[in-house]
Amino acid sequence: MFDSLTERFEGIFTRLRSRGRLGEAEVDEVLREIRVALLEADVNFKVARSLVDRIRERTVGAELSKSLSPAQQVIKIVHEELIATLGGETLKITYASQPPTVVLLAGLQGSGKTTAAAKLARWFKQQGRNPMLVAADLQRPAAVEQLRKLGEQVSVPVYHRDPAEVAAGGVDPVAVAGDGLEAARDRGRDVLIVDTAGRLAIDAELMDEVRRISAAVEPHFTFLVVDAMTGQDAVTVAEAFHETLELDGVILSKLDGDARGGAALSVKEVVGRPIAFASTGERPADFELFHPDRMAGRILGMGDVLTLIERAEEAYDKEVAARAEEKLLEGAFTLEDFLEQLQQVRKMGPLGNILGMMPGVPKEVRNADIGEAELGRVEAIIRSMTPQERRKPEIINGSRRARIASGSGTSVSEVNMLLKQFKDVQKMMKRFGGVGMKGPKGKKGKKGKRGRVPSLPGLPAAGSGLPDLSALSEERPTWP
């Protein structure tokens, strides 16, 4: 969502680095560009002015670090102030001494609140907790059924009233929330997440209902779910809810959407409450703690290696990665192994998001339309091969290629391209594998002293289990 803002900052910093000395006039020019970039990203004008003023105060007349150039010093200050604007520190979740820890979710209709409830439940499960969901949204048709289905997806129980009873009317959402709390205690659940009703706009009835639910369950955390695509309107919504509920934090949904980033950069400074979590996609796994320092790095085009590592550790099967490493070292990597690794990479989410976390990736590559359809075609081609063809691609003749193309819904030329690229990369892997296995005099090195073997694009580098694109130069073949 920060693509346009990232491009603006990269342009500003590129021009900044081209200058030698930076006087007050040059700094003012840079700050004007930064202010315009922030306002174009729909950042609240007060937040933009405050951020620019803090940068100016630290930059003009400041003693420059001996280890940094003037341009680097300004970039460092911008980075630090951007982190402060985003909240400074990651919200720490503490659990109640007498379980369950109660989490109340509030928000407008359409903000993604019910989906966020299920994603949050999955996140708590990953922390070793036993969460339960409560369907207290009785206003929106099918809201109870939606939460029940989502609960099944993440394997978390949902306390709810009979849908027919709810449809008939007369069910009090406050009573449902209270009964859900008792049910969580009886079942030994240590986290309770309460999904409440939303409205198309803020009104007295909504605020009164959510206030009464809050009084009934006495939540340890109250989070407001905000659609990141609403821009500055999200700040207005957060202010209204905060006056009623004493918010502990904000959950930003649809952070992967085509938004400019104004909500993320404005809500902490205006409302005084941090962004706690961010939803970055449609899958239940696309949900993470919000780290201001990592987000600031993404905005400034510095990447987000820590989040990339965490995703890789979660997605990659260690046995699969180890098996691939051995085959790479032996020069025996086959299309079957490639298919297995491709599936591991896809677990990490859209490739566009992964590239966005890698530092130093050119914007042309970062902004490229890397659709799942491309990966789907590669996977379809490999799946249309027989096990023998995957292990020995050299046996694939003209008739086999026609059969594979027909079975995968692709063309013979696409099959030819994939086979050629794989053959070229196999040769490269054998060459690197041979170098890595031998010492300087042609003898095998000691165990653990083998050279690092670069991976295929999107495949784990040997010994790391992480994607590594750095080993592939522009001259080497790449996958679609």
Q: What is the pLDDT at residue 318?
A: 64
132 and 30 in a common domain: no
User: Of the residues 422, 437, 452, which one is the last residue of a structural domain?
Assistant: 437
What single letter denotes the amino acid at residue 43? Answer: V
In a domain, 442, yes or no: no
152 and 237 in a common domain: yes
We report the CATH number of the domain holding residue 350 as 1.10.260.30
Host H or E run for residue 132: strand 131-136
CA separation for the pair 334, 327 (Å, rounded): 8
Q: What is the pLDDT at residue 63?
A: 54
255 and 125 in a common domain: yes
Q: What is the pLDDT of residues 137-165, one digit of tens each?
A: 888 878 888 999 999 999 999 999 887 77
In a domain, 479, yes or no: no
189 and 278 in a common domain: yes
Please, which residues bridge with residue 287 across strands?
279
76 and 174 in a common domain: no
The DSSP code for 180 is H
382 and 251 in a common domain: no
Q: Any idea which of 122-136, 189-203, 461-475 has the lowest mean pLDDT?
A: 461-475
We report the CATH number of the domain holding residue 24 as 1.20.120.140
In a domain, 449, yes or no: no
Q: Is the pLDDT of residue 413 over 50?
A: yes
341 and 243 in a common domain: no
Classify the C-alpha dihedral 141-147-153-158 as positive or negative: negative
In a domain, 173, yes or no: yes
265 and 149 in a common domain: yes
325 and 298 in a common domain: no
Q: What single string gives the DSSP state of each residue in 246-312?
A: ---EEEEE-TTSS--SHHHHHHHHHHS--EEEEE-SSSTT-EEE--HHHHHHHHTT---HHHHHHHH
Q: Is the pLDDT of residue 436 over 60?
A: no
Which residue carries 């009886």 as its tokens? 186
In a domain, 464, yes or no: no
User: Of the residues 31, 57, 86, which one is the last residue of a structural domain?
Assistant: 86
We report the CATH number of the domain holding residue 228 as 3.40.50.300
56 and 119 in a common domain: no
Q: What is the distance of C-alpha 324 from the center of its chain?
A: 26
The range of the structural domain enclosing residue 263 comes to: 101-302
Q: Is the pLDDT of residue 270 over 70?
A: yes
247 and 352 in a common domain: no
The stretch 330-355 carries a mean pLDDT of 69
In a domain, 454, yes or no: no
CA separation for the pair 26, 470 (Å, rounded): 35
If one counts the domains in the chain, the total is: 3
Q: Any idea which of 35-44, 112-121, 257-266 has the lowest mean pLDDT?
A: 257-266
389 and 366 in a common domain: yes
Q: What is the pLDDT of residues 303-337, one digit of tens each?
A: 555 555 556 666 556 666 666 666 666 667 788 87
CA separation for the pair 335, 401 (Å, rounded): 15
The answer to whether 134 touches 176, Cβ cutoff 8 Å, is yes
Q: Which range scores top for mean pLDDT: 46-55, 223-232, 236-245, 431-440?
A: 46-55
In a domain, 335, yes or no: yes
Q: What is the pLDDT at residue 226?
A: 86
